[in-house]
Structure 1
């Protein structure tokens, strides 16, 4: 069934869902859920839109039944971690390619898809400030590099020229039409933006690369392979009388992720600090 023009804004989320149908059904499910929720806000009264959204709801119900054994579907906190890890893994891949000066369609698509999946995270509640920053940066990077390659220019690696809100919301990595304006081209030095280190000095406040946010105590980029939190708490009971909640396990996992991210940039101090926080939480139940 063709997507009604009134619902054009959800087309990239539906395309991402289709691409992940077999690769990662959980990602496909939440992309469709976000598309359905967004579509309901856009237009749920026009007959063609209503018909499309009802069909999408039926598809979601079918998927939910097929994925009934998946913790990522039955437990929101696990689903949230799954989508966040996947999105930030794509972000880290694209960012590494960018900083190495390897500009190609796959890295553009990874930047853009990660921004879409960070949108999808809103089905679980409000986005963290870190994820809002990653989403803005990823969407800007996708648009900027796309425009450069299209015009035959060599993109600047890293955050040079980054200005918030300069990306095109309608940009699609596979032909959604990047902006024809120069809005995504470098316009100012990154150290004129809040939260950035001077690239000539080599770092932000933590000694890592100067892209937002530079506070690696809060950054949410996973280190290494994607591994969603899907181990039930009861499989690993803590020692003593401490009883941990699923949220405690998720927080501990995030501290470990922050530590991994810091190690990616050889920031040992931040890594140790976050590992100590995880250890304290797991052994005492308190932060």
Structure 2
């Protein structure tokens, strides 16, 4: 049994559902010395959550010992040494994974193994956006990405339970719904001017870009019937654009 397996077995019962996913991500990235930093920050998140809930001081102490040992054994790892570099690295990884899930979602027919792989990748995106909280408040873009990824992972899990990808029709066919497409922050399109009205031309470039991004997030939220998030995004769009509405 690896040290991570030992730690996972010690996790307080009340936190198992919340944190076992993050142990799984940590273990996956521990396999490669070049990605041990991802494991490091996953364990930091786990320790923070356990401390926040004041659960099992011995468990927290053991996780902190693991972190110290990892740092000591990787003295030249710049990602571990610098929290700023760590945050940038995980944000970039999330963006890459989102691109991969979008590409996989484009395949209309997926077998069960492909669906399981896609589900795990969505769960990883969701878990890593949680981990970003160790660096401070998580950027809104990544909060949204994480929320959508978790929702999509649950949807795929239900599809698999219903027989998707096996060639056997589900007992109750799910409602036809287009797969979720997520727009990573680095892939948000630039605003395009259509020349309609003078008021739109008065809005700054970055304001229009921000409004477009929020509209896309609102649409994504509605795909999963997340009305609260959609309303919040739409209200932010109105707040952004109202000062430039001369009509």
| TM-score after normalising by structure 2 | 0.62
Asked if residue 142 in structure 1 is aligned to residue 153 in structure 2, the reply is yes
Aligned counterpart, 1:20: 29
- Would you say how many aligned residue pairs link Structure 1 and Structure 2? 173
User: How far apart, CA to CA, are the structure 2 residues paired with 1:138 and 1:52?
Assistant: 29
Equivalent position of 2:141 in the other structure: 130
Distance of aligned partners of 1:69 and 1:105 in 2 relative to their CA distance in 1, 3 Å threshold: same
2:222 corresponding residue in structure 1? none
**CA displacement, residues 174-204 of structure 1 (integer Å, 9 cap, x when unaligned):** xxxxxxxx9xx769x8xxxxxxxxx8xxxxx
CA displacement at 1:36 relative to structure 2: 0.5
User: Is residue 2:63 matched to residue 1:56?
Assistant: yes
Instruction: Report the Cα distance in structure 2 between the residues aligned to 1:146 and 1:100, rounded to whole angstroms.
Output: 17
Please give the alpha-carbon distance, in whole angstroms, between the structure 2 residues aligned to 1:22 and 1:152. 32
Partners of 1:108 and 1:142 within 8 A in 2: yes
3-state secondary structure, aligned to 1:152: coil
Cα deviation code 1:83-122 (max 9, x no counterpart)? 1111221122112101222542111100111110011001
Q: 1:150 to 1:67 in 2, by over 3 A?
A: same
Pick the structure with more helix per residue.
2
Tell me whether 1:68 sits opposite 2:79 in the alignment.
no
Equivalent positions of 1:200-239 (< 5 A) are 211=181, 219-220=184-185
- Is 1:96 aligned to residue 103 of structure 2? yes
Which position in structure 2 is the counterpart of 1:35? 46
CA contact (8 A) 1:111 1:139 kept: yes
Cα shift at 1:31: 0.3
* Pairwise CA distance, 1:134: 0.7
The reply on whether 1:78 has 2:85 as its aligned counterpart is: yes
With the length of structure 1 as denominator, give the TM-score of the two structures.
0.54
5+ residue gaps, structure 1: 155-181, 190-198, 200-208, 214-218, 221-257, 275-287
CA RMSD of aligned residues (A): 3.0
